[in-house]
Structure 1
Amino acid sequence: MSYRWLKWLILWIPTLTIGLWEYVRHAFLLPYISMDLGNVLAPVLVFIVTLTLLRGLFKRLELMQDALQRERLSKSSFEQREKLARELHDGISQSLFLLSVKLDSLEHAHTPEGVRQTTEQIRGTVRHVYEDVRQSIANLKSSTAASPAEGPWLTAIHSLAEELRAAGGGYTAEVNWQLPEHALSDKEKVELMAIVREALMNVRKHTHEAHVSIACYPLEGGAWGSFHCIVADTGRGADAEQLEAKGRYGIRMMRERAKQMGWSLRVKSERDLGTRVEIATEPLSDI
């Protein structure tokens, strides 16, 4: 029996019981049962039917709800594994492949200068892998740990800014977060936090001694839960070609996350003028 049929039976059985009882009473039992006694027997009859029939239906309904809940949890777990696998493939596995290529180059280096350059490149790739591993672990924790709704959301935003200040690269950070905590669902909070974290991670990877601002505002006149968030830094920036170059896994992952949520994402960067990452629920050209 389907979930829909169970709900309809639970709704209709008491009504049909009363209707059938009234018909039988007036058609056949009225000479034998007084009106007052019939009125007393009606709720008793409904109670007996409820105990015998509806209790079993409610039990089946609870079992179906438990099965649906387990299916949701299983689906959520599967989605998180897929997400982690994608991040491992896009970032870490490709970096490790690049590392193996550079190790081969190191074996064939014939001059001290060539060895030095290749060694520096290997160190850079190792640092990149390390940052990708940290990012993947952070994303996994943010997805599987307690829901963001269970703790102060603004505290988590300030924690990201504090991590950046404590990174040791001469960073300063300010937060202007005006988006109400209850404006987004738990999933939206997790994905938005992951994008903001990735934007800050890119700052740490590609620039030093920069001032970073993290801001988020509700859209005026927009639907409930609409927002416009900005992560901007005053670092050295990059050309447009560099932003889309191979190895820029962070930007690609931010775009994928935004696309999955139906959000708009724009990355603007100019050399020596810094980088600006914008996320919004509406097309950014209209904001």
Structure 2
Amino acid sequence: MSYKQIKWIILIVPALTLTVWEYTRHHIFLDHISMELGNWLSPLIELAVSITFLLKLFSMLEATQEELNRERSRQVALKEREKIARELHDGIAQSLFLMSVKMDQLEQGQQDGEQAERMKGLRKTVHQVNEYVRQAISNLRYPMYPDALPWMQFLERMVNDFSLETGIEASWDWQLSEERLSAKEKVELYASIREALLNVRKHAQAQKVWIQSKEHNDNSWSCIVEDDGVGTEGNPFRHQDRYGLKIMNERAVEMGWLLQIKREHGKTKVEIRKEVS
């Protein structure tokens, strides 16, 4: 029931109750109820009906108002996060990018071995700081508990922004119903997809990425993030600097999911599967 409908019912019920009582009183109970008693019964009947029906409507109205207030608070918080993310992107991220360009220019000059080594270390530091800033921007835009917007809307927005920011074409085929996932599963699956896309951004040198999910007949489901980048030979979890993959694996273990990362036909496939025993 909508907010407007509740308000109209609250306005109409007392008047309708009094009208029905007066009609009944004068056409049915006129010979049985005196005028004085009828006058006393009118407010009592109206009060009884109000207590019986209107209190529940008032509770519904209050709940609706609280939900509207929470939604306004979420929108305000989301806009503030977007503002901070935009300031980070326009300020620190762009400055780091310009610094990286200038370092490229310096590296083209003549340098001895010691200077080249220092420049390499400096470049690595700038690259790490740049990644930290980008991750902070991503966290601001897409918080770990994405309850400010519907979950599917958050996923689609993340994929679209990834494509716009990286220039990597993103194909989206999502068949997993949101109702099949618990609140915690939504949070963890969302974070895993984000980590997979971040890994594509940082390491894959890809031209295209595919995100898809499927529901299976045995009530299990799977989610795949696939890219046509360079990939990694062997066990991807053995790399010491791939903290994101390790966290993703720990997350899958905690949730009881199966996580596989494999290289097939020139593509890297990250698959998250929930199997029902």
**Which aligned pairs between 1:92-241 and structure 2 lie closer than 5 A?**
112-132=112-132, 134-135=134-135, 138=138, 142-144=143-145, 147=147, 151-168=149-166, 170-222=167-219, 226-241=220-235
Q: Secondary structure at the match of 1:197?
A: helix
Letter paired with 2:263: S
* TM-score relative to the length of structure 2: 0.53
Task: Name the count of aligned residue pairs.
Answer: 166
Q: Unaligned stretches of 5+ in structure 2? A: 1-110
C-alpha separation in 2, matches of 1:232 and 1:266: 12
CA spacing shift, 1:180–1:237, aligned 2, 3 Å: same
Letter paired with 1:166: L
C-alpha separation in 2, matches of 1:161 and 1:155: 10
Runs of 4+ with deviation above 6 angstroms? none
C-alpha separation in 2, matches of 1:136 and 1:262: 28
TM-superposed CA distance for 1:243, in Å, is 4.5
- 1:50-88 deviation line (CA, Å, top 9, x unaligned): xxxxxxxxxxxxxxxxxxxxxxxxxxxxxxxxxxxxxxx
Contact 1:139 1:194 in 2 (8 A): no
Q: Unaligned stretches of 5+ in structure 1? A: 1-110
- 1:189-210 deviation line (CA, Å, top 9, x unaligned): 0110000000000000002242
RMSD: 2.7
C-alpha separation in 1, matches of 2:164 and 2:121: 26
TM-superposed CA distance for 1:251, in Å, is 0.7
C-alpha separation in 1, matches of 2:250 and 2:123: 28
Contact 1:142 1:190 in 2 (8 A): no
- 1:101-146 deviation line (CA, Å, top 9, x unaligned): xxxxxxxxxx6244224423432343234424543674586235x5
TM-superposed CA distance for 1:249, in Å, is 0.6
* TM-score relative to the length of structure 1: 0.51
Contact 1:173 1:211 in 2 (8 A): yes
